[in-house]
């Protein structure tokens, strides 16, 4: 595992402590979710380019099926 250091204003740190927030776990989860969103956006862009290249020869339902299948594998 890698180490990332983040500086936040003192007020934010105090509020997080007040609510007993596990900052490390929260940041790991949020970064993971953000990365998933970026990957899905990239996949959607690649699928759109492929669709344009093939001139609409791919059924949109097939694309949706492939995206769902990709999500299940993660």
Structurally, the chain folds into a number of domains equal to 1
- What pLDDT score was predicted for residue 30? 97
Q: Is 2 domain-assigned?
A: no
Q: Is 59 domain-assigned?
A: yes
**Mean pLDDT, range 17-40, rounded to an integer:** 95
Q: Is 37 domain-assigned?
A: yes
- Identify the residue with better confidence: 26 or 71: 26
**Structural domain that includes position 43:** 10-72
- What pLDDT score was predicted for residue 66? 81
DSSP 3-state assignment of 2?
Answer: coil
- Residue 15 vs residues 1, 27, 30: alpha-carbon distances, Å: 27, 15, 18
């Amino acid at each position: 595992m890698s180490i990332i250091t983040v500086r936040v204003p003192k007020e934010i740190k105090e509020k997080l402590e007040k609510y007993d927030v596990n900052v490390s776990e929260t940041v790991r989860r949020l970064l993971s979710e953000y990365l998933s969103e970026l990957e899905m956006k990239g996949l959607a862009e690649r699928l759109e380019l492929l669709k344009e290249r093939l001139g609409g020869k791919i059924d949109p339902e097939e694309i949706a099926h492939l995206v769902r299948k990709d999500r299940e594998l993660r």
